[in-house]
A and B are shown apart, each in its own frame.
Chain A
Amino acid sequence: MAKAGTKEKPEILLDIRNLRIEARVFPPGEAPRDITIVDDVSLTLKRGKVLGLIGESGAGKSTIGLSSMGYGRGGCRITGGEVILNGRDVLKGGKQGFRKLRGREVCYVAQSAAAAFNPAHRLMDQVVEAALLHGVASRAEAEKRAIALFKKLSLPDPQNIGKRFPHQVSGGQLQRVMTAMALCSEPDMIVFDEPTTALDVTTQIDVLAAIKDAIRDTGVAALYITHDLAVVAQVADEIMVLRHGKLVEWGGTRQIIKEPRQDYTRALVSVHQIEHQEKKPGTKPFLSVKNVTATYGGGVVKVLKNVTVDIFPGQTLAVVGESGSGKSTLARAITGLLPPMEGSITFSGRKLANRLADRTKEDLRQLQMIYQMADVAMNPRQTVGTIIGRPLEFYFGMRGKERDRRVTELLEKIEMGKGFIDRYPAELSGGQKQRVCIARALAAKPTLIICDEVTSALDPLVAHGILNLLLDLQQEEGVAYLFITHDLATVKSIADSIAVMYRGEVVRYGAKSEVLRPPFDAYTDLLLSSVPEMEIGWLEKAIKGRRMESAGN
């Protein structure tokens, strides 16, 4: 695979041997100690190949990716092993060596492009910066190259997009600009750190295709880090499965997907379908949203247009759509945070007040909400006991022992023990935080819980556990869910009925089996076909079969 005229460059581009990375942790109530984040991992990457690193959070995949440029993030220290890039050990190069290497031989594409770009500079200045600093090209050459890359990554208006600021382009576009930035200095290797995880499915497919084409056309090698096996199967030549900082399995993409040898890989590969029997809609919905139109800016921007949905007792209505489709706004309208301009919301036979301030305490108790980001949905200064206990005090006037007993009961319900009662949110894992939020909502004994993207910030296996918990709780408590999500796999496993939203309108609405049965309208088709499947060559097939373009959020 070596490029012509690069005889001095060895065929093996990156050779990591027995890498060991440690960090110091400060556990509560104990002396600080060192933990091993990456333990004895070796890998080799040939020129022009793509290696996928896959595992759940804390598997050490980003840490390994960054070690290829000798970088330890957030106090991580590389304490053992060798990182041989282009035939020399980069760990021995010192600061000067790192400077020559980063942005020239190895470039990095971060997960959140929005957070990684400097908001105060135009895109072009940031894209060409590394190339100019390393003296790879003159400004004019670099900009020409950047524009060519913008074109290759199918960005709109490639001539002028570089003049914009980061906030003036959409998330999917920004991610592609970042890929252009990484490619601009013609590096030997790019580290992609979950480049599509923060994007909508419909946009992910575009970015994925753009990245794949760019890798093929420029012959750059890549480490592709993700937790989504279906995504990595589309771009990688080889896949490496990691867990707790140790290598689980390493093989060709086809072998990992078709014939996994380790149990853990098998668990990842097997689709986590929750079998969910669709319930027949009851005769009488307890909550009806009728012709609701909601606007921001006093009627200027219509975000919800004439939306009508019903929710039946003990059932789940899933609202699906990409960012900006108005699905979270629907939740805000129902809860009263954004009073609708037209239309009404009826709750068990009577009309709910539009404004939050006009609703009775009893109405508020019946509608509870769980948020996407569990860590900002809980007050970081309150203990788990206070967080779960407050609704009990507030709605039922429980105090002291009675309250504590109920909190313990709820903690057991969410499969966490009594020991968590004095913990602060910062002392919980992502999945545990979301569980505490579920317990807080349950404490109010509501009839409806609005779940706003509750699993999208979690690892697949953890999300799986949360979904199962929600389904069990629905059985026990008979609570209904309004489940907002962009992930169709989640919808299939939890919904009884589905509303597909697009640009503020419900484009398709009905029982799950009806909505997911062809023929589809153009948008539902796009949504369904954009969900990555664990199959080699899916990407090309999906792109070809599309009937409409995605909005690019």
Chain B
Amino acid sequence: MLDIKRIPLGALLGLFFTALFLIAAIFAQWIAPFGLGEIVGNVWEPASAQYWLGTDNLGRDLLSRIIYGAQTTIFIAVLATALSFSLGSILGFTAAVVGGWFDTLMSRFVDLLMAIPTLIFGLVVLSVLPSTLVTLILVMGILDSTRVYRLSRAVAADINVMDFVEAAKLRGEGRGWIIFREILPNALSPLVSELGLRFIYAVLFLSALSFLGLGVQPPAADWGGMVKENKDGIVFGIPAALIPAAAIAALAISVNLVADWILNRTTSLKGGRA
């Protein structure tokens, strides 16, 4: 069914880089040439045969930290996105199907959350709560789920009035079947494209938090934090801060290339056979 020759070039590139990042993230402990906090050389050494990307502001190997950083960043972003999608889409679909007071209550509550800028809200919550992985993921997931809720409620409201949903209701189907079997498959296309975007927003959000010192705490590495650690080097013409930034950009682009391709495949109403 999946023919490698029929995958467009953009999607292939996206798949390649996404896979590369994922492998790096999963097997960081085995791939990384040096330890996470191990000081191996001088401060801000240029790239060399020994340190492929040079060293950072404390003389740690930049490549190793990028690899460990991929692990932290992707792990948190994936979990936060998963949380925001399960929460947002299930609540959104339920609101659209149930309607009435439940819908009004949920929607106004979400409006309330969305009225506060995400970053500021995150900063306030994280400065009060301890900065652990769990709080980070929860805060990011819940804040992001408001946007997913909006989208899935709008999509489901459209599908909910179609004749085939009415036919299912007339048959006597329960809400579970209507949400998961009638609405969800037809709402997947916009949700999948949103998934790619949301994942990247999660990466960016996490990086922003770390950059501000509220995200992942040192000595653990994450890309946003690495930009922060090395930003002073830019003044001296040292590119160490740009490398994690480039990693963020590369991940963002490749994940979205993959999301686009999946979107194209799932939009087909002929089971992707055509």
Residues of A within 8 A of B (CB): 26-29, 335, 337, 356, 359, 361, 364-365, 367-369, 371, 373, 376-383, 390-391, 394, 424-427, 440, 444
Residue of B nearest to A30 (CB): B274
> Is A377 in contact with B172, judged by CB distance below 8 angstroms?
no
Q: Does B111 contact A (CB under 8 A)?
A: no
> Is B269 in contact with A380, judged by CB distance below 8 angstroms?
yes
Q: Which of A29, A356, A368, A390 contacts B169 (CB 8 A)?
A: A356
A265 to B85, CA, bound (A): 58
* Chain B stretch 146-160: residues in CB contact (< 8 A) with chain A: none
- Say whether, besides A394-B172, A426-B269, A28 and B163 are in contact (CB < 8 Å): no
- Say whether, besides A373-B163, A377-B164, A391 and B271 are in contact (CB < 8 Å): no
Residues of A within 8 A of B167 (CB): 369, 371, 377, 440
Residue of A nearest to B273 (CB): A28
Q: Which of A27, A29, A378, A394 contacts B171 (CB 8 A)?
A: A394
> Is A364 in contact with B164, judged by CB distance below 8 angstroms?
no
> Is B162 in contact with A376, judged by CB distance below 8 angstroms?
yes
Residues of A within 8 A of B166 (CB): 337
Number of A-B contacts (CB under 8 A): 62
A53 to B168, CA, bound (A): 41
Residues of B within 8 A of A361 (CB): 172
> Is B269 in contact with A379, judged by CB distance below 8 angstroms?
no
A376 to B171, CA, bound (A): 16
> Is A29 in contact with B273, judged by CB distance below 8 angstroms?
yes
Counting from the closest, the 5 A-B pairs by CB-CB distance are A381-B185, A426-B269, A377-B163, A364-B172, A28-B273
Residues of B within 8 A of A381 (CB): 185-186, 269
Residue of B nearest to A336 (CB): B170
In the complex, what's the smallest C-beta–C-beta distance from B71 to chain A, in angstroms?
A: 36
A70 to B182, CA, bound (A): 42
A452 to B241, CA, bound (A): 66
- Say whether, besides A378-B164, A427-B270, A369 and B185 are in contact (CB < 8 Å): no
Q: By DSSP majority rule, is chain B's interface helix, strand, loop, or mixed?
A: helix
Known: A337-B166, A381-B186, A381-B269. 18 other contacts (CB 8 A): A26-B274, A28-B270, A29-B273, A29-B274, A356-B170, A364-B170, A369-B170, A373-B163, A376-B163, A377-B164, A378-B164, A379-B168, A394-B171, A394-B172, A394-B173, A424-B270, A425-B269, A440-B167
Residues of A within 8 A of B162 (CB): 376
Q: Size band of the B side of the interface? A: 20 to 34
Residues of A within 8 A of B269 (CB): 380-381, 424-426
In the complex, what's the smallest C-beta–C-beta distance from A103 to chain B, in angstroms?
A: 34
> Is A376 in contact with B274, judged by CB distance below 8 angstroms?
no
Residues of B within 8 A of A368 (CB): 170
- Say whether, besides A376-B164, A379-B182, A391 and B171 are in contact (CB < 8 Å): yes
> Is B185 in contact with A28, judged by CB distance below 8 angstroms?
no
Residues of B within 8 A of A379 (CB): 164, 168, 181-182, 185-186
Q: Which of B163, B164, B168, B271 contacts A424 (CB 8 A)?
A: B271
Q: What are 28 inter-chain pairs, A to B, with CB distance below 8 A?
A: A27-B274, A29-B273, A337-B169, A356-B169, A364-B170, A364-B171, A364-B172, A367-B170, A368-B170, A369-B167, A377-B164, A377-B167, A379-B181, A379-B185, A380-B164, A380-B186, A381-B185, A381-B269, A383-B271, A391-B171, A394-B171, A394-B172, A394-B173, A424-B270, A424-B271, A425-B269, A426-B269, A440-B167
Residues of B within 8 A of A365 (CB): 172
Residue of B nearest to A332 (CB): B166
A364 to B172, CA, bound (A): 7
Residues of B within 8 A of A367 (CB): 170
A379 to B164, CA, bound (A): 6
Residue of B nearest to A387 (CB): B164
* Residue among B168, B181, B271 having the largest count of chain A Cβ atoms under 10 Å: B271
Residue of A nearest to B269 (CB): A426
Residues of B within 8 A of A29 (CB): 273-274
Residues of A within 8 A of B273 (CB): 28-29
In the complex, what's the smallest C-beta–C-beta distance from A310 to chain B, in angstroms?
A: 22
A451 to B16, CA, bound (A): 53
* Chain B stretch 258-274: residues in CB contact (< 8 A) with chain A: 269-271, 273-274
* Residue among B163, B166, B186 having the largest count of chain A Cβ atoms under 10 Å: B163
- B170-214 toward A: CB 8 Å interface, digit per residue (1/0)? 111100000001100110000000000000000000000000000
A380 to B182, CA, bound (A): 9
In the complex, what's the smallest C-beta–C-beta distance from A343 to chain B, in angstroms?
A: 20
